[in-house]
Amino acid sequence: MNYFIKEREWKEIFKILSNIKGLHTKNENHIRQFIEAVWYISRSGCQWRLLPPHYGYWRSAHRRFKQWSDKGVWEALFQRIQNQPDMEATMLDATIVRAHACSAGYGKESQPQQALGRSRGGFSTKIHALVDALGNPLKFILSPGQRHKITQAEALIEGISGSIVIGDKAYDSNAFVETLKAKDCICVIPPKRNRLNPRNYDEHLYKERHLIECFFGKIKHFRRIFSRFDKTASSFLSFLHFVSTFIWLR
Domain count of the chain?
2
Return the pLDDT at 110: 84
**What are the percentages of helix, strand and coil residues in the chain, rounded to 5?**
45, 15, 35
How far, in Å, CA of 94 to CA of 159, rounded? 19
User: How many DSSP H helices and E strands does the chain contain?
Assistant: 10, 7
Return the pLDDT at 1: 66
How far, in Å, CA of 112 to CA of 125, rounded? 10
Q: What percent of the chain has pLDDT over 90?
A: 86
Residues 101 and 156 grouped into a single domain: yes
Return the pLDDT at 109: 77
Residues 141 and 200 grouped into a single domain: yes
Instruction: Fill in the amino acid letter for 150.
Output: I
Is pLDDT of 159 > 80?
yes
pLDDT for 83-112, tens place per residue?
999 999 999 999 999 999 899 888 777 888
Would residue 244 count as lying in a domain? no
Q: What percent of the chain has pLDDT over 70?
A: 99
Residues 74 and 94 grouped into a single domain: no
Residues 164 and 42 grouped into a single domain: no
**Structural domain boundaries enclosing 150:** 89-232
Is pLDDT of 2 > 80?
no
Return the pLDDT at 196: 86
Instruction: Fill in the amino acid letter for 97.
Output: V
What backbone phi and psi angles, to 5 degrees, belong to 240? -65, -45
Residues 93 and 212 grouped into a single domain: yes
Would residue 35 count as lying in a domain? yes
How far, in Å, CA of 87 to CA of 90, rounded? 6
DSSP-assigned letter for residue 200: P
Q: Which residues contact 153 (CB under 8 A, 6 or more apart)?
A: 92, 167, 171, 173, 176
pLDDT for 21-47, tens place per residue?
888 888 999 999 999 999 999 999 999
Contact between 148 and 171 under an 8 Å Cβ cutoff? The reply is: no
Would residue 27 count as lying in a domain? yes
CATH of the domain at 158: 3.30.420
Give the distance, in angstroms, between the CA of residue 98 and the centroid of all CA atoms in the same chain.
15
Would residue 97 count as lying in a domain? yes
Return the pLDDT at 200: 92
